[in-house]
Chain A
C-alpha cells in the first residue's frame, strides 16, 4: 500500500515537472511536424489517401488535404515553442480522437487502406495504429490538463520583462 502511494506520488511529481512536460511537447510536436511536412510535400497523394477511406466525397477530401497538414504543422510548432500550449494540446487531442474513431470505423467496414498519416511513409490501418494513436492521445491529454504546462515563450518573455523591471528598480 505504502509503495503504491509512493509510486503515485512520484508520478504526480513527474506530471508537475515543467521539463518533463516540455519533453512530451517536443515529442508530440515533432511527430506532428514530421507528419505534416510529408503530407504538405504531396497534397494530391494525401487527398487520394483521404478519399480511399470512402467516408467523404471529392471536395471534402480535397479540402482536408489542403488544410489539415497545415493545422498539424502550426499546432506542432506552436506546441514546441509554447505558443497557446493548451489550445494546441486540445486541438491535438480532438484530432487524435477523430483519427482513432476513423481507423476503428475503417477496420470494422473491412476497408484495407493506407492510413496516410506520414505521406509516403504511411502504413496500413490496423489495431497497432489505434494503439499508437491512443499513446499520443494520452500524452496530449496530459499536456492539456497538467497545471504545469506553462513553459512557454510568453512566460520567458514575461519573466525577462519582470527581471528587467526589478533590476531597473534596484538601480
Chain B
C-alpha cells in the first residue's frame, strides 16, 4: 500500500515537472515574439499580394460566391422570379445537384438529377443527353449549400457556357409554394 502511494506521488511529481516544461516552452518570450512576427509578416504580405482582390471584395463583387467574372463569364446567379420565369418558359434545363436520395424525396418538376460527386467522373450519361450549348439552371438545398456553384464550375469547364445558379435553391422554391415533383 505504502509503495503504491509512493509510486503515485512519483507519477504526480513527474507529470507536474513535465507540465512545467511544456508551459516554459509554450510561454517562452522568444516563442511568442516569433509567433507575433510571423502573424504580422503574413498579414502584411497577404494584404500587399491581394490588394486587387480586397478592393473587389469591398466593392461587393464576391457577395454570392468566390468566382472571378473573368474566369467564368457565362456563370450567373439568379433569384426566385428569374428561376420561375425560366421554368415556366422552359428556356433552360433545371439541374438538381443534391444527392439522389434528396432528389427522390422531392425536386423541381422536370429537373434532372446530377449529384456533384457523379459530375466529377469523366463519362456520365448527362453529357451525352445535353449538348454543351444548352442553357442550365443549377440548384441545391439553398441557404449556405455550395454544391450548385461547384457543379456549375465543373460543367462550365466541360463546355457549358450558359449557366445560371439559383442560389435560393430547393428550400426557397418549396417555401414559396411553387410546384414540386416526387
> Which A positions have Cβ atoms within 8 angstroms of B?
40, 43-45, 47-48, 51-52, 54, 58, 61-62, 65-67, 69-71, 73-75, 78, 83-84, 86-88, 90-91, 112-113, 144-145
Contact = CB atoms under 8 A, between A and B. Distances in A.
Q: Which 10 A-B pairs have the closest CB atoms?
A: A87-B34, A84-B34, A70-B42, A47-B66, A48-B66, A67-B46, A71-B42, A70-B46, A44-B66, A66-B46
A78 B26 CA distance: 17
A79 B83 CA distance: 52
Contact of A75 (B32, B33, B38, B146): B38
A140 to B, nearest CB: 13
Contacts of A74: 38, 41-42, 45
B126 interface: no
A45 B57 CA distance: 14
A91 B41 CA distance: 14
A91 B37 CA distance: 12
A87 B38 contact: yes
Interface string B19-52: 0011001101011111101110111011101100
Interface in B50-84: 50, 53-54, 57, 62-63, 65-68
Nearest to B56: A44
B67 A84 contact: no
A138 to B, nearest CB: 16
A84 to B, nearest CB: 3
B31 A90 contact: yes
Nearest to B149: A48
A62 B54 CA distance: 9
Contact of A91 (B38, B46, B53, B63): B38
Contacts of B45: 70, 74
B31 A71 contact: no
Given A48-B66, A58-B63, A61-B66, 20 more contacts: A44-B66, A48-B65, A48-B146, A48-B149, A51-B144, A54-B145, A62-B57, A66-B47, A67-B43, A70-B42, A70-B45, A70-B49, A71-B38, A71-B39, A71-B42, A74-B38, A75-B38, A87-B31, A91-B38, A145-B25
Nearest to A93: B26
